[in-house]
Structure 1
């Protein structure tokens, strides 16, 4: 076990990170930490913005790696970490963040030593400095991967590889004496024993740091615990040796209170769980490591606070509300989104999207679930969009667009949208046709439109079937099927991502599994017969974003919003319900339930608050409407 003491003490403006590791599975070492920039980073603000676009590719084949690398470069991102592992086949990855100052960068993999040395010389000539190194073998031959960035700061740096422990120790002392600090460290097995590679760079701010290497798991954890109060883990590597797993790390002084998260020794499934959980909770990825252990391939990751969500004052209280619901009712999973004045204050999945013999997949804010009757609220907005675009009018007779609909359908577009068309609801008539896929809403409507109306049009009669007739009329008016209308008039123009008609043939949707009241997995039924009444799907993130874009006037004009929601009071509007809370605040919402899901979208239009909640079970005691209302009341009252 080798220890290196800390460098000089001065206030740090930033910090840097190489590959990272954490405590035992499921344990967070650093709940709060200073600036965590990545490899290029030294402690300079340019490498650690408070909030920055980021991305990460993991476990890619060589061809996939090169394709995605070109894509990230085209999108204006900068690589901050490269990872290559060749056990069981070449797998590579990298972490990126927005290239905020447009600097030149190179990332190269699979270099021979001669090619690597030449590339280093070329980089120096071009004014670039190296910021990361990976040493690995392909078919028994040594290969190198590295990142270089434009050296705008003109910082002196040094890189070495294939060092023994003694050689690293000597080099360490030389670099520290020169005023440099380590920003990357790798340890790797060779026929001659463990060797080290690393990158050092001048430490212009004098930030304190500590480096330990060759630690057992227990020693590494103890050191992490000792340093936790005023340092954060900043670079990491792990290697399997004849003496057991060994860990190395660099810690850097924490300075600004922004949080960070590190996890280590994760299976692939658990690593993905933490990736998605961290994204929900407002952290960006800054590095990952893939390494071999006696138990198989394991992963480590580090994440950096990238929004205000980790420090939202109500976070703990909302966590408590959702956990209580989860524990009391044993519902498999619940996802929650809260927006305030156009920004996400809270995103989180609880429980599981999938439970099987191989382990758990945590539910997160990007898992897609059916939104059931919340689809009616979306259909109401779609109708008003088409009114604004001159495609239909609320006063239009439905038969003006569906010219061959039976004559007893005397209702208007507006009456159907307000559940006043008197079309049957469940158990009021023959109902929907066979359990089969429908290409259009008209195809479904034809199966039941011969049935008599159940009241005089203009009378309130809540009806899922009525929304199918509504969207059949919208199809006839525009010439587009319902899926295309949702895609082209709402989804794409307003960036609503997963919010669309549910199509089971779409295998790209990242759907949660769904469960019956006994928490047994059930097949997802085809709902194309009622897209506008209960057959749409969304992630909780995109559902909340939809609510906010409606509330803020991005999608509809103020006049259309008054038509959609009214100006207050209680009642059923165009797919929405409206009421005032006990304090007189205006609320609009829509609830829904279908096989395998409960949904609720809750908006305070005048207070800028949107709450969306989804679950992956229909019944069994849990109550998503109450949960969403409790969360909404907590937020507006605060």
Structure 2
């Protein structure tokens, strides 16, 4: 959730106190405070967020002894220091500090540390399991000193440096950043010239960040404005210098997409929805396994104008096929299935349960792999899933495997191709995979998927769709026909369970995707070998003899991208996993049958348009 925030700098003590008194009743809490001097007059910078959190205290204009006294009283009241900022007032040190009332980790805090004692103090506390979380340099009576806070929070790696010239600091930043460290704290000060002290950390939750130093007040404001436009917000502000020559250093984090980026996504979706008469849509985007955006657009039903939210459910059409494919591979890993298993006939997974004997030629040669790759041998024109709506699922399969009973029999749907030789996209093949899953698990298809895929992915709100409007779930959108003679509520969507019958939110599709993407950001529910096999293209050719970009439940591209799309009357869907670790899902509650090819092209283009606009991916994970 993006909380409101505010920040100030170049505030006098009176202005700073007024800000504190103004923001506290508005439920803002301070995240950072920094005191510094301009022409010998104390000034303050602070960062605030309107978010829930522990009780807090701010103190400023304290002498060294007064600051020390806080540590004799406040910890006993449950407070711990978050930030300590020494600053100059008339040649002597004063202290500003921020305290939170929470249990937190064991802490230690010191001030007045001389440079000669610096290393010994840090080594001593490191040996006791402490790590620095706040670090400032200051002068007191002309003597350089340090202030720092340590705690025992877990942090696999960290580094502290001080006495760095601007050039050295730049080199140190490049070094540590190249090794995966994040700049956590920076403190500028004077000691024979401008110097910097800093903390770097590695091993914390990822942060998308920027840092600047050596800025005048005007330059700082310009950088602040530019970074804010990109979605960054300040995490640390530090003023330093002498006389009127005050400079600023700052660290910014990007926890969410920027307002401009979100506006761009909204405008892009609005253009698409207007062009194709789509009442409602929902989008989710991931980057490196983190959910960075999930939003609904438009309305669930034009009759009620209820806004679409990120949690509303949509029919996902053929995006169901990767879910079925992953379920198959989960069962293969459990030893319950193999790609080469025959489906029909003696020894086949479904045996002779369906249809009428004898089967048409080569039916008993169809394997699980053929069904996954759309190479079972039926032509696309033979696909029965959008016809014969009076038949149940069982009756439809029986009909496809049936004949007229004569000698010799006339088969209802004989194979057009030898199994394994020719790719023709076939929903019916995935309908059969659903029945194979049921046979080997002893569960319904939906329950087998739930146990083997959805639960391990942390998904609790995916279901097989109901056929009629009355069957619609409470948080499901309404499907609006556009240019079609078929009603979205007359196509027996539940009969399509394993090839196109699921309802889901885009965010849950992303929960699934990041657990089968082959990347290390989230632990996959399949082995690397299974994912590699699942992503290997079929060796069959298309009806024209050309190569095919389909693997086992996924379209693939030589770039490493994997995806699936789908549409049925009243809905269209697409989800994508790119080689550069971007995930995308979009679901809509209408299909433009009067311009279906155009809609399909445009829904495919949405991902490119949106993701190419985002230059700084936020590190916050909304999952």
TM-score scaled to structure 2, two decimals? Answer: 0.51
Aligned to 1:446: 398
Structure 1 partner of 2:581: 608
Q: Distance in 2 between matches of 1:617 and 1:402?
A: 36
Counterpart CA distance in 1 for 2:102 and 2:374 is: 51
4+ residue stretches of structure 1 with deviation over 4 A? 11-20, 38-44, 99-102, 426-433, 441-444, 504-509, 518-523, 567-570, 632-638
The Cα of 1:587 is off from its aligned counterpart by 1.0
Counterparts of 1:336 and 1:468, CA distance in 2: 27
Residues 316, 500 of structure 2: 8 Å contact kept = yes
Number of the residue aligned with 1:398 = 343
| 1:14-40 CA distance string (max 9 Å, x none) | 9656799xxxxxxxxxxxx93113597
| Residue 518 to residue 448, structure 1, CA distance change in 2 (3 Å) | closer
Task: Determine the C-alpha separation between the residues in 2 that align with 1:533 and 1:308.
Answer: 37
CA distance in 1, matches of 2:508, 2:294: 11
Instruction: Give the distance between the partners of 1:630 and 1:457, measured in 2 at CA.
Output: 39
Q: Which of 314, 318, 333 is equivalent to 1:388?
A: 333
Q: Which residue of 2 aligns with 1:483?
A: 446
Q: Find the partner of 2:500 among 528, 534, 555.
A: 534
CA contact (8 A) 1:351 1:363 kept: yes
Q: Distance in 1 between matches of 2:102 and 2:445?
A: 41
In structure 2, C-alpha distance between the alignment counterparts of 1:545 and 1:449, rounded to whole Å: 37
SS state of the match for residue 315, structure 1? Answer: helix
Q: Contact 1:602–1:632 at 8 Å: present in 2 too?
A: no
Instruction: Using the TM superposition, name which of 532-541 and 307-316 deviates more.
Output: 307-316
CA deviation vs aligned residue, 1:36-77 (integer Å, no higher than 9, x gap): 135975678xxxxxxxxxxxxxxxxxxxxxxxxxxxxxxxxx
* Cα pair 1:333 1:363 within 8 Å, conserved: yes
Gaps of 5+ in 2: 1-12, 29-46, 59-100, 105-223, 226-230, 232-252, 403-412, 539-546, 618-623
Deviation at 1:614, TM superposition (A): 0.7
* Distance (Å, rounded) in 1 between the aligned partners of 2:453 and 2:564: 18
What is the SS of the residue equivalent to 1:309?
coil
1:524 aligns with 2:489: yes
2:373 to 409, 415, 418: 418
- In structure 1, the partner of 2:533 is 563
Give the Cα–Cα distance (whole angstroms) in 2 for the partners of residues 559 and 13 of structure 1.
Answer: 60
Q: Is the 8 A contact 1:609 1:635 kept in 2?
A: no
* Alignment coverage as a number of residue pairs: 361
CA distance in 2: counterparts of 1:318 and 1:469, whole angstroms: 39
Aligned twin of 2:552: 574
Structure 1 counterpart SS, 2:301? strand
Alignment of structure 1 residues 307-326 onto 2, 5 Å: 308-311=255-258, 314-326=261-273
The 1:544/1:372 distance shift into structure 2, 3 A limit, reads same
Paired residue secondary structure (1:415): helix
CA distance in 1, matches of 2:301, 2:25: 33
Structure 1 residues not aligned, in runs of 5+ = 1-5, 21-32, 45-98, 103-255, 258-280, 282-305
Give 1:9's match in structure 2, choosing from 16, 32, 40.
16
Instruction: Give the structure with higher Rg (CA).
Output: 2
1:334 matched to 2:297? The reply is no
Structure 2 Cα separation of the partners of residues 16 and 513 of structure 1: 44
Measured after TM superposition, the shift of residue 618 of structure 1 is: 1.3
Aligned to 1:376: 321
SS in structure 2 of the partner of residue 571 of structure 1: coil
Q: 1:356 to 1:331 in 2, by over 3 A?
A: same
- Distance 1:599-1:456 versus aligned 2 partners, 3 A rule: same
Give per-residue Cα distances to partners, 1:385-434, cap 9 Å, x unaligned: 11111111000001211111453422000110111112354555697544
Measure the CA separation in 2 of the matches of 1:559 and 1:527.
33
Provide the C-alpha distance between the structure 2 equivalents of 1:491 and 1:481, rounded to a whole number of angstroms: 14
Helix, strand or coil at the partner of 1:624: helix
Q: CA deviation at 1:523?
A: 5.5
Matched, 1:351 2:351: no
> Whole-Å Cα distance in 2 between the matches of residues 415 and 567 of structure 1?
12
How far the C-alpha of 1:519 sits from its partner, in A, is: 11
Alignment of 1:266-305 (within 5 A): none
Give the superposition deviation at 1:365: 1.7
Q: Aligned residue for 1:62?
A: none
> Quick one: structure 1 residues 43 and 423, their matched pair in 2 at CA, closer, same or farther if it must change by over 3 Å?
farther
- Kept in 2, the 8 Å contact 1:14–1:37? The answer is no
